């Protein structure tokens, strides 16, 4: 079986939500590494450093019309090298992704699982680079 590197499974998750992000993280990457607190900053203050990961994610969930992508890793006990991504779009939508290494069967299994837990049939698989789209509505139109 040939191992494919950097499989990117992206699925539309509806309105941006911390609950949805946590669901994907806890399902596919339990024990994930927390984000560095200087990962990003509030748009109004480049010098502010968030105090917790929850504060950081909360800021982008609660602030309308803002875009931000987050990626979480786990460096131990992660044989498929799964990385979870959350893309918050400026139209307040959420695209969740799994980037991993595996076979065609692994690719299909993770893509189907991600669609199932997000209760969404809108998604795409790419390799190396995430799929291209402008915002949540554009993702729906392209990958429905």
**Structural domains in the chain?**
4-36+65-143 (3.30.160)
Residue 47, pLDDT > 90, answer yes
Which pLDDT belongs to residue 2? 87
pLDDT digits (tens, 9 = 90+) for 117-133: 999 999 999 998 899 99
Distance, CA of 9 to CA of 79 (rounded, Å) = 17
Longest dimension (CA), the chain: 50
Compute φ and ψ for 106, nearest 5 degrees.
-60, -45
- For residues 106-115, give the mean pLDDT: 98
Q: What's the pTM value of the predicted model, to 2 decimals?
A: 0.94
Which pLDDT belongs to residue 116? 98
> Long-range pairs for 115-119 at CB < 8 Å and ≥24 separation?
115/11, 117/23, 117/24, 117/27, 118/11, 118/12, 118/13, 118/14, 118/20, 118/23, 118/24
């Amino acid at each position: 079986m040939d191992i494919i590197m950097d499989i990117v499974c992206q699925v539309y998750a509806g309105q941006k939500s911390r609950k949805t992000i946590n669901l994907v993280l806890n399902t596919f990457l339990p024990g994930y590494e927390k984000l560095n607190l200087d990962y990003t900053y509030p748009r109004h203050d480049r010098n502010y450093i968030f105090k917790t990961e929850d504060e950081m994610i909360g800021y982008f969930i609660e602030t309308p019309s803002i875009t931000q992508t987050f990626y979480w890793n786990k460096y131990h006990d992660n044989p498929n090298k799964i990385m979870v991504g959350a893309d918050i779009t400026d139209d307040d939508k959420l695209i969740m992704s799994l980037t991993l290494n595996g076979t065609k069967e692994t690719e299909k299994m993770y893509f189907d699982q991600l669609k199932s837990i997000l209760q969404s049939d809108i998604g795409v698989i790419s390799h190396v680079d995430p799929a291209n789209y402008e915002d949540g509505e554009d993702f729906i139109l392209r990958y429905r």
